[in-house]
Structure formats: C-alpha cells, structure tokens
Structure 1
C-alpha cells in the first residue's frame, strides 16, 4: 500500500480534522485543513649683561620644502573609505528591528495566533508540532544525525500550502513556554512569508536577509533578523535575489551559518520555508543540511507519482514527515480551500 493511500485511509478514519506527525515510512501527518598637554620646558634667563652689538643680519633661511600632497590625499581617501564602511555597517544594523504582525487580521483569516481562543487550526498544529519538538531536543537515538532543531517545510510543487503550514507551525511553536522560533524565508526566488504574515512591504523590501549574510562575511546574522510583536518569534527574510543561490546554499558559508543558527540559542527551533522540491535545486541542497523535513501534500491534487519521486530524492534523509493539506472536512467544502489560489 502506498504512502498516499495510507494517508487517505487515515483521513477517512479520523474524526473532524485531527492530525499527527509520524515518519514518512510509517504514515503521514494529516491536517484538515535576533591629557592634558605637557608643558614645554622653561627657557633659562641670562644672568649677565652682554655688550650691545648690532649683529650682522644672518642670511635668510631657505624656505622649507612643501610637503607632498600625495600622503595627505591618501590619508583623506582612507578616512573617506572608513567613513563609508561605518555608514554601511550602521545601515545594515538598522535593519535589525522590530516589526508588527497584525495578529487580529491573521486570526480573521483562520491562522494560528497567540492568546486567541482555541480553534481547530490551532489544535491541528499542536498535534503536528509536538513530535517535531520532541525529536528536535531528544537525547536518545532518533535517527537525526545533527541539527534536529532545523526543520524544513517543503512541498513537491507550488500551491500545495507549504508557506501556510510553515508560518502556522512557527507561530504555534512560538507559543510554547520553553522555546523561541526563527522563521527563515528560504524561498529566495519567490519569498512568500511577508505576504502570509501580511507585513508592510516597507518593513521588508529593503531589509537584508539570508542571501546578504551569505554574500557579506562582515554582516552578522543578528543584523538581518527581524524581531516581531510575538516576543519568541523572529524572522530572517530571504534578502536579495542571486543567480548563484544554489551554490550559496551549498557553500561552506551556509554550513557555518546553519551551525550558528542551530547552536547560538539552545532553546531555538528554526523553521525554513523552502522552495518546491521538484522545481528547484535549492530545496534539495537545503534538505541535505536539515535535521527534519515536513513535506506538505495537497489533498486530491498531488499525485502518488509526484510524492514517490520526492521521497526517492529524499531517501537519504530518515526524518521526513507528511502533512496532508487541504483535506475536505464536510461535503461541499474544504478546510483550507479559501487560503489558496
């Protein structure tokens, strides 16, 4: 029996829209749905009178040669360069700021929000996040080689709901008492996180992000992170688009950055909104450096052949979980349908 058949079978048996996270080899996750100056020595006064003699005027001293203007110009150029670098650094650091997420609007759209009443979607993601959190910080053998707290949310093709799931998962984990969350917009070609969070374009359009940190070794990760009005949630934007994005994501700089992200704060979980796996090489490169992968599958749209192909590409990864998304909850309607085009 195929994975999708198992997922569909579990869906038919579930009540309402409950979901759970299990390894892809066993079953699927089902969802319906940061000096004073020194004094000069005194000149001694003569102690005897000296006969007044009109001295012969001494020849005028030759004027001192003018100093070359080249060293002065060099110093001025160096000063200008230093000032420019300082200005650039200040400009970069100014992007590390707090942004406001309109939580009321997200709630109206059916998204997970802190301090809101219990909703079906909130309960769904509570079920999804629990095993992911347990594996992220498990001390025993869970099959995760490294970076269990780095979780990539991906899909096979566009439109399956990966960004929706990544954002809701990040907010849901941020509601935990013992964990902080960094949401990374890793879909550098088509960043979607700002749109789903309904962020003001002025807050993110000029902000540096993931690509900028990889391209500029003088740029610190903290300079690119955006704090939010959810105290335990920060966002790392995608940053500038780059034609060699795949090579950058596969570079030593990316490996070092991931080590820093994973280890700087022991309680942090990092959610990566990834590009579609079958359309980009960036996603497959990124997947090789993740501790866990959540694969979003669109109900009644993504074929078994597509899912099998993605799982074949991820066969070296032992922690792949499935989210069965946009599943119908009642005749004539669907739980997530209104959120996607």
Structure 2
C-alpha cells in the first residue's frame, strides 16, 4: 500500500485550482515536467461545450446530472456507492460526456472529491475534455509498470477533481485492464477515503470484454443510451453481461422532453439564475 498511499496523499496535498495548466499530482513544476520529455500543457481550457455542468449549470441537462449525483451520494437500501462505472451498449452514445459531467457535479459538492479514471484504451476521450496535454503519462504506462501511480494522477482546473487518463491506444487493453494491478488500484482507491468518489469511463462491454471484469469491482453502474440510435436489443444484450443489481441509473442521452420548452419551466429557472447573479 506504500507507493499507492503516497500517490494519493500527494494528490490531496494541493489547495485548489491550477490555472496555469494540468500537472502531475505531486505538483511537479513546469521545468521538471519538461525534464521528463514532455512539452507541457498545450491546451489549458476545459471543454466547456461538453462540461455543461459548468458552462450551463441552470439547464435541464445540468439538473439531471445533479439528480444522478444525489443517487450516488444518497443511495437507497443502506448501500455505500464509492466507485461507479459508466458505460454504454455501443460506441458514440456519450458515456465520456456523462462521466465528465457526473464527476464535475460531485466535485462541486461541499465535502466530496472525485477521481476520474479513463479505462477506455480503445477510444480515450477524458484527457481532451479536461485539457490534459497529449503527452501526459496515462493508465497504460502505470499498468505496464513503466511509471508510478503519482505520475498518472493529474489535478484539473476543477477543484477537488483529479484525473487518471487512459494514455495511448494499446494493442492489449483487455490484458491491462483485467490485470491484478488494476484490481488492486481500484480496491485501494475504494477503501482509502470516505469522501472520495471514483468515476470510471469504460468502453461498451459488447465490444470490450474488460468492462465486464471492471464492473465486478465497482459499487454501481450507470448505463448511457443514445435516444436517437441505440437499439433495444443492444441494451438488453449489454445488461445480460453485467450485474443488473449494480445498475443505479440509465441516462437517456440526446433526449429533449417537451416540458423543457414550456414557458413556465423556462421562467422558473430564468428567475433562479437571475437571482443568483444578483447576489
């Protein structure tokens, strides 16, 4: 537990946002960062278009992410949900979008911090959303024992939210994600802190069998379904491969309920937004 504990302690040692870019969790300086052969952050702007929880907090979409947050923080039947896997039936349904916004919403809470793990080594996306440099070390290197854990945990511009990017696309994603190193890491993150939530972006289990293995080590699963394209059979086949008792929510992406256009709904949230602006 030694090296892992040190990495998490260093991740917690910071005091908020780093507006100059994303650096490893040990607060490595830019000069030291470059000494590792990295050119440093190229893009320090969060993808606000996809992080709607930040760019449009009064929207219907953001309200739904707060609803998901409530389900995670206050689960029923005495459950304790600390680790959540987010996946979908097929690619392109918006799981990374959902993962990022759930994480950002939880991190906005008064007492909770979040660690996002991108376990999709086939189509990694999380690093782009949180503006990590493309040269940043990722989960692939850690699982291959080519670097320490502290080298792949990055603070973001969102206070209390850190990220482990997937790294490069690899030839053996299933072998790496199902390794004992990954299992041990998840267990340590799960047990070490009572105020930390771990959100894992994982590829569709119908295409990536490693997701099934990871799902056995999490407390809850969130399914993302794209309203305008996902087939019911694909969803059914996916659920057959997962533990349905762990499914804590289903997100219907690209769905616009008619009541959102209702003047009463719009007026209610417009007034709330205006009142907050005046404070």
Give 1:93 deviation, angstroms.
Answer: 9.9
The match for 1:184 is: 117
How far does residue 161 in structure 1 lie from its aligned partner after superposition?
1.1
CA-to-aligned-CA distance 1:307-335 (integer Å, 9 cap, x gap)? 11111111x3511121111113349x9xx
Pair 1:195-2:136 in alignment: no
Alignment of 1:235-314 (within 5 A): 235-314=163-242
Name the CA shift for 1:224/1:169 in 2 (closer, same or farther; >3 Å).
Answer: same
| Residues in 1 aligned to 2:205 and 2:219: alpha-carbon distance in whole angstroms | 16
Aligned partners of 2:200 and 2:50: how far apart in 1? 22
With over 3 angstroms needed to count, the CA separation of the structure-2 counterparts of 1:157 and 1:178, relative to structure 1, is same
CA offsets, 1:147-194, max 9 Å, x none? x31111100001111111111111001101111011111111111113
Higher helix share: 2
Tell whether 2:135 aligns with 1:206: yes
3-state SS of the aligned residue for 1:191?
A: coil
3-state secondary structure, aligned to 1:112: helix
Q: Counterparts of 1:110 and 1:291 in 2: how far apart (Å)? A: 24
Match of residue 132, structure 1, among 69, 72, 77: 72
CA distance in 2, matches of 1:171, 1:313: 29
Matched position secondary structure for 2:53: coil
What's the offset of the Cα at 1:124?
1.4
Contact 1:92 1:223 in 2 (8 A): no
**Deviation of 1:110 (Å):** 6.6
Q: Does 1:102 align with 2:29?
A: no
- Compare CA radii of gyration and give the structure with the larger one: 1
Name the CA distance, whole Å, in 1 between partners of 2:164 and 2:252.
27
**For each residue in 1:257-312, what CA deviation from the matched residue of structure 2 results, as whole angstroms up to 9, or x when unmatched?**
11222223321101111112211112222222221110001114212211111111
Would you say the 8 A contact 1:93–1:223 is kept in 2? no
Where does structure 2 lack aligned partners over 5 or more consecutive residues? Answer: 1-10, 12-31, 262-279
Q: C-alpha distance in 1, partners of 2:179/2:139?
A: 13
Secondary structure of 2:116's partner? strand
Counterpart-to-counterpart distance in 2, 1:110 and 1:254:
27
- RMSD (Å), alpha carbons: 2.9
8 Å CA contact 1:186–1:275 kept in 2: the answer is yes
Equivalent in the alignment of 1:230: 158
| Match in the other structure for 2:58 | 118
Unpaired runs of 5+ in structure 1?
1-33, 35-89, 334-341
1:51 corresponds to which residue?
A: none
